[in-house]
Amino acid sequence: MPIRREHRFFYPIDWPQLSAVIRFRRAGGCCEGCGRTHGQRVLHLGDGRWWDASAGAWRDGQGRTLQVLPTAEEVAQVRMTRVVLAAAHRDHDTSNNAGTNLAAFCQRCHMIHDRPEHRRRRWATLFRRKASGDLFRGPYA
């Protein structure tokens, strides 16, 4: 996921190298949330369940083997996606680049991890817009 222009100064100059160390050396090229392998094309059902071809098993969103297999109707709706690993900040503080604060997540796990922070930022943005509207244009109709 690209870094937003206004947040770039929070990251160290060697962020690409630090990110690569976290994703490929420490995590071994696998998501630390679900276990998907970087660059692999995986079949998934859209709700977190995915086919692990190397193990020959369906897995859930946390990488555990499914106890109940998907139905034929669910398998008919299967989709394919390419896994891309990214280094994520566990505490959402982009200036805290300690190894314990960074995790290698696939795009799905990264979005799930960041969901509360995205909601918080969305609320703050909408609140600022409404406050600005109230201040300069009067109450809303």
Angle (CA) 53 55 61, round 5°: 80
Q: Is the pLDDT of residue 126 over 90?
A: no
- Determine the Cα–Cα distance for residues 11 and 34; give it in Å rounded to an integer: 26
Q: How distant is the alpha carbon of residue 128 from its chain centre?
A: 26
The domain ranges of the chain are 1-35+83-141, 41-77
Rounded average pLDDT over 30-39: 95
94 or 107: whose pLDDT is higher?
Answer: 107
Q: Give the pLDDT band (50/70/90) at residue 3.
A: confident
What is residue 136's predicted lDDT score, i.e. its pLDDT? 74
Lowest-confidence region among 22-26, 80-84, 90-94: 90-94
Q: Give the pLDDT band (50/70/90) at residue 22.
A: very high
Q: Residue 102, Cβ neighbours under 10 Å: how many? A: 21
